[in-house]
Structure 1
Amino acid sequence: MTTATVSTNENPLLEWALYLAAMGWPVFPLRPLTKRQPAIKNWEHRATTDSTRIRRCWAADRWNIGLATGPAGLVVVDLDTLKDGETGVDGMTALVEVAAERGGPVPETYTVVTPSGGRHLYYRCPAGVCLRNTQGQVRPRVDTRAGGGYVVAPGSVTPDGGYELFDDRDPAELPGWLVQALAERPATANSAPVQIRSTDPSAYGSAALRGEAKRVRDAQPGRYNEVLSTAAYTIGRKVGAGLIDHATARAELLAAGETLIGSAHWPPNLREVTRVVDAGLTKGAGNPVRRKDAA
């Protein structure tokens, strides 16, 4: 284990922000003492490594530090601890178990300890690989932050404690077995791979559903709610016309919406994703497309 030394002045958070920027990792301000309140809009695109902008920003307040994982070329594995009353294993144990099952190690890498005692493992995203955030896809208490996401960076402080740098070695490349696990569709009731049966109404409806699901997954920060809502409405119109099975449409849209969870203010959880999808499908079904318009 190695530990970085960061100088202390009247605002040590500024020093941490400059240190992270020097690593080539774009940062942006989070509200003081918080971890889910970006202080700017469109934070993923406005995150910066420009020391002048960082000094000017952090001179205004003791902002916590958000690190935009996508622009940084990072995939951060967020390993949670067991909370009171929970059963099973903690995130670190779960990740090691998955690695053993898939025949790969968990490479030692840049590591941050969270206030709860969890771990953030920083990995370099392999060239040509595009990954989004996941929540519990690999195993319970194993989440990831990648494109469209951010992590609370070391140096940040919350009422529960600080984010402390544990190992400052250069990030290792995300291992292949984990790339594969993250690229797979979660095997859950709401996100199982959608199988379009030969009895489904039309190839057109199936293609439209795949297109809208992809649009949701590719949504830009700040537009998640809007894109998911309009996608559900668009597909709902086809469900109402009998072009797509309702259960199939709902499962596919929920699976797409789950990939956005935790990457910004919205969506906060699966319940909210489900609410938006169901509302959009219901509204769309009440205004079905005409068959000749769909052809």
Structure 2
Amino acid sequence: MTHPDHDRALECALAAARRGFPVIPLSRTKLPAVRSPHRGETARGMCRGQCGRFGHGVHDAATEPARIAELFAAAPWACGYGIACGRSPHYLIGLDLDRKDGVDGVTDLVDLAARWGFAVPWTRTVITPSGGRHLWLRGPAEVVVPNSVRRLGNGIDVRGSGGYLVGPGSVTTAGLYRWDPPTASMPPAVVPKRLLRLLLTTPQRRPVRAAAGPGAGPGAGGSTAEPLIRFVLGSSVGERNERLFWAACRAFENGHGDRVAEEMVGAAVSTGLSEREAESTVGSARRHVLGGSGGRRSAGAL
């Protein structure tokens, strides 16, 4: 017997799929709900679902009702669903506008639009539990938009190719994701050309890699790993393992690596790494910091 939150998530996911949005089931922590079938395998690989089994994160995303039903049946604990970005037919780009901890992504986007001369699109919008907004935009088929964190502003994260957005109707540890009612039936608006240029050309903010001690990069000296998770989510192709290794090292140095390891793996999976690759990288970071005996090393330059 399934939980009402699971049944609602499945119903909403099927409704999204009917509109052409590929979906996957998510856990309450907003991570892919189906575990990797490659856990425990010693050989590293680049499987993106070619093995035919579920558990490859966003690479499992589907629009076929039968496959979606099978995905949710494989994860009866799922209480939400993710919308895969960068996929046909919508080539979705998600703008995640935070509104918490003194950050206002909505204002940041309005300021950005005024500065660069484009209009903020009126488009399909989801309200997050913290009062933030997810704006859904349609990208061009021939362009790969990378995921990024705070690249355009302190309150603006971007979900592009290899990423996903939490779908409305999902229940998470933070609460319920829901439609902004006037936009619920709207198609995603086309991304403005000037905004698209910014998405492709604005350099990612990188942390300062100090030689040792706290303060090196996001969350390095704090008690929370959220900035580190966001740093991993901002990875682009070619830098995902490096950023995951750096963030995991910072987490182990500050004593909460084991507690947040699974969340870091999930964040890396959402950017396109396989769970096997991500688990191996986090394990390497643990050994680098703690050593074989479990003793702590100094941070060092990475």
TM-score (norm 1): 0.60
- For structure 2, list consecutive stretches of 5 or more residues without a partner in the other structure: 36-54, 209-234, 246-267, 290-300
1:230-241 matches, cutoff 5 A: none
Seen in structure 2, the aligned counterparts of structure 1 residues 108 and 47 have a Cα distance that, compared at 3 Å, is same
Cα shift at 1:262: 6.7
1:91-150 deviations in Å (ceiling 9; x for gaps)? 000000000011110010000001111000000012322111011111111010011111
Matched residue, 1:65: 81
Matched residue, 2:96: 78
Aligned-partner SS, 2:100 = coil
Aligned-partner SS, 1:70 = coil
1:234-249 matches, cutoff 5 A: none
1:69-148 matches, cutoff 5 A: 69-72=85-88, 73-83=91-101, 86=102, 89-148=103-162
1:198-223 deviations in Å (ceiling 9; x for gaps)? xxxxxxxxxxxxxxxxxx8435xxx9
Seen in structure 2, the aligned counterparts of structure 1 residues 181 and 27 have a Cα distance that, compared at 3 Å, is same
Matched residue, 1:179: 196
Identity of aligned residues (%): 37
**Equivalent pair of 1:133/1:146 in contact (CA under 8 Å):** yes
Matched residue, 1:11: 7
Cα shift at 1:48: 0.5
Cα shift at 1:56: 2.9
**Equivalent pair of 1:135/1:261 in contact (CA under 8 Å):** no
Seen in structure 2, the aligned counterparts of structure 1 residues 91 and 262 have a Cα distance that, compared at 3 Å, is farther
**Equivalent pair of 1:38/1:66 in contact (CA under 8 Å):** no
1:1-295 matches, cutoff 5 A: 11-31=7-27, 33-40=28-35, 41-59=55-73, 61-63=76-78, 64-72=80-88, 73-83=91-101, 86=102, 89-166=103-180, 167-168=183-184, 169-186=186-203, 188=205, 217-219=236-238, 224-225=240-241, 263=271
1:149-168 deviations in Å (ceiling 9; x for gaps)? 11111110013210101122
1:13-42 deviations in Å (ceiling 9; x for gaps)? 1110101111111111112x2213442432
Tell me the distance in 2 between the aligned counterparts of 1:117 and 1:95. Answer: 15
TM-score (norm 2): 0.59
- For structure 1, list consecutive stretches of 5 or more residues without a partner in the other structure: 1-7, 192-215, 230-259, 280-284, 286-295
Find runs of 4+ consecutive structure 1 residues off by over 4 angstroms: 187-191, 226-229, 264-268
Tell me the distance in 2 between the aligned counterparts of 1:98 and 1:12. Answer: 36
Seen in structure 2, the aligned counterparts of structure 1 residues 105 and 261 have a Cα distance that, compared at 3 Å, is farther
Matched residue, 1:246: none
**Equivalent pair of 2:147/2:236 in contact (CA under 8 Å):** no
Aligned-partner SS, 1:71 = coil
Seen in structure 2, the aligned counterparts of structure 1 residues 189 and 263 have a Cα distance that, compared at 3 Å, is closer
Larger radius of gyration: 1
